[in-house]
Structure 1
């Protein structure tokens, strides 16, 4: 009786794995085909390093890092230096809050 339950559990486990595996492979194939094109066109930057350089002189570093991280993730760009230089990253410079203020430090 115990042997039959173990055998049944193993068979059900294999069935579930068999159902999950094909969809997982197709997702990987799809991701690989899209990722190869996207990654070759856009090189992602390390937002943590870029924003820590941008916010190193800010009086409210946690706020600056949070805002800069959001802007960096959306634009994949952070202007060099601690302020200004926004002409090198227009997406970063043009992002605003709901109140109309500049979002990115």
Structure 2
């Protein structure tokens, strides 16, 4: 009998083409508890060991943002920055955040 050792990393890195994981808002809500913080840290450690970036969704408060690790490969999404926006409103939002004027790209 021939056996082959297949690791999770080899399956993920060769069979499933992706470069980031997205951490759901439910894990962000769990950051209020020690066990939730350990779980969140474990997910970030797993991503780091697989050389994957991390997207954290659902960050709504300054307290949640303060607990999310401030690593270069972590991107944060959530209402702490803005509610969902229509396309034109998004363009204005980006323009203002970059130091421009809202409505500058219209007409």
TM above 0.5: no
| Bigger share in strand | 2
More helix by share: 1
TM-score by length of 2: 0.19
TM-score, normalised relative to structure 1: 0.20
Relative contact order, CA 8 A, sep 6+: which one is greater?
A: 2
